[in-house]
Amino acid sequence: MLKLIFFITLIVVSLLAIKSIYAETSNNNTSTNLKIANYISSTSSYRFEPFLLVNGTDYKDVPHDDTLSFDNFTIVAWINTNQSNLVDPAHILNKGGFNNEDKGKNMNYGIWLSRNGNIQGGFEDEDGEVFEVTSPTRYNDGKWHYVLLSYNGSLLRLDIDEKQVSSKYTNGAIPDTKGDQPLRIGANSLNEDKFYIGKVDEVRVWNRGLTNSEIAEIYSNGTFNTIGQVIYQDFKNIFNIAVAADWGCDENATKTAENIQDEDPEIVIAAGDLSYKKSADCWFEIIEPFFSRVKIAMGDHEYSDTTEGAIGIINEYLEPFSMTKTYYSFDVNNIHFTFIDPHIDYSFNSTQYQFIEQDLQNASPINNSRIDWLFVVEHIPMYTSPSKHSANSTIKDIYHPLFDKYNVDLIFSGDNHNYQRTFPLKYNNSNNGNSSIPIISDRNLNNYSSSSDYSGQIYIITGTGGRSLYEIKQQAPFVAKQYDDQYGFLNLDFTTNNTLIATFYGNEKDNNNNNTIGNNNIKNNILDQFTISKTNYLNY
C-alpha cells in the first residue's frame, strides 16, 4: 500500500513539474500577427514590407560567434523568387557554405534553391558527408512561401507552406560546427558565390530542433517559442534608400559615393547629370561598389555635355542599367518609383505622359493595396528658391495636378547644385491663383503625419552629388530647409510602423552646424531631417 501511495505521489509531482516547465516555456512564447495560413492560399497579399531584396550580387551577413554554431537547429523564413536556369545552387540562408570538405569549412546548416528550383536544406558533418532533404516540387514561381527546416539530432525535416514535404533520419550525424564563417543570407557563406535572387523575410534561427507541437503553434497561431532562438531578422529597421544628383567624377563625388556605401542602401537613386564627361566610365568607377543597386534619371548632361562638347552619352547608360526607355517605373517593397524624362516630349498628348498617368494611377495607394509610398524622380526642379536655374513651370503645370490626384509623396530632382526641401505642397489651380505660388498644406518644419492635415507633395532638390555648388540667393516661402555649402546625399530609412525618416548628410564635418551630432564620424553631419508617418498602414 505504501508503495502504491509513493508511486501515485511520484506521478502527481512529475505532472506538476511538467506543468511548471510548460508554463515556463509558454512565458517564452512570442506571438505575431503573422497568420501563415492566410498567406499560403493568397500569397499575393503578403504584407511584411520591408523585406530583404537580394539581386544576385549582394547578401546580408550576421558575423560569426560561437552562439551561431549548432549541433541541432531550426530555420524558418518567408521566401519569394522566380530565379531559374541556375548553374549552381542558390543559397537562401546558410552558415558554412559549400565548396570545401575540410573540417571547419562544411555547412553547419542552411536552406538553398536547387538548380531545378526545388528547395533543399540540411548540413554536412566534419568529413563533408552531406545530409539533405529536398522538396518534391519547385518553388521558384514568384510567390511567397514559408520554409521551415528542423534537425533534432536524428530527424532532418523540411516543411513548406505548413506541410512536411521531406524528412530523413541521420543515425545521429553531427553537423560541422568548427567553422568561423558568418551566417549569410543570399549567398554561399564560404565564398562569395552561389547567389540567391529574390526576397527573404521573417528569418528565425534556433539552436535546437523545434518540437511537433511548437511547429504546430507557429502554423496555427503564429506563436513562436523563443527558447533557443538566436536570430530574428524582420528587415524592417534596415531598409534604406540613398538619393543624390549632379555627380561629376572628382573627389567630391567620390566622397559622396563613399558615404552612401557606408549606409549600405538597398537602392541608390541617381537623379540625373551623372559623369559630365563624354564617357560614362569615370562615374561607373565611382559607383562600382553599389552599381547593381543604382537607378538613374536623365539630366541634360546625359543628352549633351557642355564641358567637352555637345556629345550625347545617353546610350552609354541604357544597356548597363537594363533600360529600354528613359522614363520607367519599378517597385521595391511597398514603395513605387516613377521616373520622368523632362528632356523628351512630356506634353499631354505624348506617349510619355500617357505612360506616367497610367503608371501613377495603377500605383496609387488608393488603387493598389500593396503600395504605401509613391515617389517621383525628375531632374528639372518644379519648385526652387532663387538659384542658378529657375523652376520649370511647364512641366510643373502638367504633372503637379497628377501628383495631387494620385497621392504622390515625394518628388526628387536636381539641376540646382544645392539641397532644398519644400513644405508639403498642393497645386494652386484657383482662378485667381498663380501656379508658381503653390498651396502649403502643412507648415510643420520636420514632422508630418497622415493623421493630421498632411497632404500634397514634398519636393526635394539633391543636386549635391559632387559636381559643384550653386548659391541660393534667398529662401522661397514654400521651402522649409535649404543648404548651398556642402555636398552630400539624402538617406531614406523606413521603419516598422510605416514611418519614413529622411536625413540629408553633408559630406564634411561642420563644427558650426548645430544639427551635427557625434564628434568624429562625418556621416553624423546631419544638415536636415524630417519624418512622415502613415498611421493608416495595414499591419498584418
Section 273-291 average pLDDT = 93
- Grid coordinates in use for 537? 498602414
Q: Pick from 209, 233, 257: which residue ends a domain?
A: 233
CA dist 440 → 104, 427, 437 (Å): 62, 9, 9
- Checking DSSP bridges between strand 240-244 and strand 267-270, what pairing results, if any? parallel
- Grid coordinates in use for 219? 502554423
200 plus 340 within the same structural domain: no
The DSSP secondary structure of 274-328, one letter per residue, reads: ---SS-SHHHHHHTGGGGGGEEE---HHHH--SSS-S---THHHHTTTT-SSSSE
The boundaries of the domain holding residue 394 are 240-246+323-533
Q: Pick from 185, 201, 233: which residue ends a domain?
A: 233
Q: Pick from 200, 233, 266: which residue ends a domain?
A: 233
pLDDT tier at 140, thresholds 50, 70, 90: very high
Domain-located, residue 277:
no
Domain-located, residue 8:
no
The DSSP code for 43 is: G
- Residue 529: helix, strand or coil by DSSP? strand
Task: Give the pLDDT confidence of 323-372 residue by residue, as tens digits.
Answer: 999 999 999 878 999 999 999 999 999 999 999 999 999 999 888 888 88
Domain-located, residue 45:
yes
Domain-located, residue 361:
yes
228 plus 329 within the same structural domain: no
Task: Give the pLDDT confidence of 199-234 residue by residue, as tens digits.
Answer: 999 999 999 999 999 999 999 888 899 999 999 987
pTM (two decimals): 0.62
351 plus 224 within the same structural domain: no
pLDDT at 314: 80
- Residue 28: helix, strand or coil by DSSP? coil
CA atoms of 147 and 124, how far apart (whole Å): 20
- Output the average pLDDT for the chain: 85
- Residue 13: helix, strand or coil by DSSP? helix
Domain-located, residue 259:
no
Q: In this model, does residue 265 exceed pLDDT 60?
A: yes
Question: E-strand spans in 179-272?
Answer: 183-185, 197-206, 223-225, 229-233, 240-244, 267-270
Task: Report the phi/psi class of residue 363: left, alpha or beta, with left for phi > 0 and alpha for psi in -120 to 50.
Answer: alpha
CA 413 to chain centre: 22
353 plus 209 within the same structural domain: no
pLDDT at 33: 45
Picking from 210, 208, 200, 203, the residue whose alpha carbon sits closest to that of residue 232 is 203
Domain-located, residue 190:
yes
Residue 479, domain CATH:
3.60.21.10
73 plus 184 within the same structural domain: yes
57 plus 202 within the same structural domain: yes
228 plus 89 within the same structural domain: yes
CA atoms of 395 and 154, how far apart (whole Å): 67
Residue 127, domain CATH:
2.60.120.200
Domain-located, residue 315:
no
What length is written for the chain?
540
72 plus 215 within the same structural domain: yes
Q: How many domains does the chain have?
A: 2
Domain-located, residue 468:
yes
